[in-house]
Amino acid sequence: MNIGIALLFIVLIVGVYVVVRLLYKRYPKPLLVPIATSTFFIVCMLYFFKIPYEMFMQGGRWIDELLGPAVVALAIPLYQHRKTLKKHIVSIFSSVFVGMIVGLGSGILLSLWFDVEEVIILSLAPKSVTSPVAMDLSQLIEGIPALAAVYVMVAGISGAVLGPYLLKWFKIHHPVAVGVGYGSAAHGVGISMALEIGEEQGAVSSIAMTLSAIFTSILCPFFIAFLL
């Protein structure tokens, strides 16, 4: 690994994120959420300057390594809002379970309706859970893990961009409802959006993401066997 190249891309990633973050603070529109705009700009840079993905990941993998500590850090808002979580535990469990059924079933059924290849369906099915779980599940049901990771990214970014519009349209303001919506539909990206709204929403969304991953891991193979 070339340390100079790695440092260059680390600075590039952080720099792009800081710039789009400032842009988002000035113009807080859902279409300008940092996770979407920073990803778009970095992909454009890699494409136009013909930079190989392997070279980019010399620095990108160090950013990726921070995902683990970031997930562990979610324990802080969980602990701070433990009373709220206990109070609404039944609502959270039932809502996440229904959300998992809708997310999993709609993805498979719409793919069948549009006559999508089976291997694509197997890769798309676990799209609403965090990347490591989705990739393992996809491999288990004989999908393509790398493709599953792409669908997870699309689900997360689209959830972050469209989520505020949908919540406003349906007049959903309760912290628990907002947290469950983001966590069960847009996994880690949704948690970051929920945390921007408030710590309570962030705590609920992290629980929702975890529960959604558990439910999907258990039921996804049965859905696939029943619907395909």
**What is the per-residue burial (b if ≥16 Cβ within 10 Å, else e) of 101-114?**
eebbeebbeebeee
* Three-state secondary structure string covering 183-211: HHHHHHHHHHHHHHHCHHHHHHHHHHHHH
Give the pLDDT band of residue 1 (cuts 50, 70, 90).
Answer: low
Give the pLDDT band of residue 28 (cuts 50, 70, 90).
Answer: confident
Tell me, yes or no, if the pTM score tops 0.85. no
Task: Give the span between the Cα atoms of 151 and 127, in whole angstroms.
Answer: 5
Residue 194, pLDDT > 80, answer: yes
**Mean pLDDT, all residues of the chain:** 87
Give the pLDDT band of residue 177 (cuts 50, 70, 90).
Answer: very high
Which residues have CB under 8 Å from 145's CB, separation 6+?
123, 134, 135, 136, 138, 139
Residue 75, pLDDT > 80, answer: no
**Listed range (55-69, 80-94, 144-158) with the worst mean pLDDT:** 55-69
pLDDT for the residue numbered 39: 85
pLDDT for the residue numbered 146: 81
CA dist list (Å): 149 to 60, 87, 128: 16, 34, 10
Task: Give the span between the Cα atoms of 186 and 207, in whole angstroms.
Answer: 13
Residue 228, pLDDT > 80, answer: no
Query: Which tokens belong to 49?
Result: 């300057």
Residue 89, pLDDT > 80, answer: yes
Give the pLDDT band of residue 170 (cuts 50, 70, 90).
Answer: very high
| Mean pLDDT for the stretch of residues 32-56 | 88
pLDDT for the residue numbered 136: 86
pLDDT above 90 as % of the chain? 27
> Residue 104 in contact with residue 219, Cβ under 8 Å?
yes
Instruction: Please give the DSSP secondary-structure letter assigned to residue 126.
Output: T
* Range from 22-31, 50-59, 168-177 that averages highest in pLDDT: 168-177
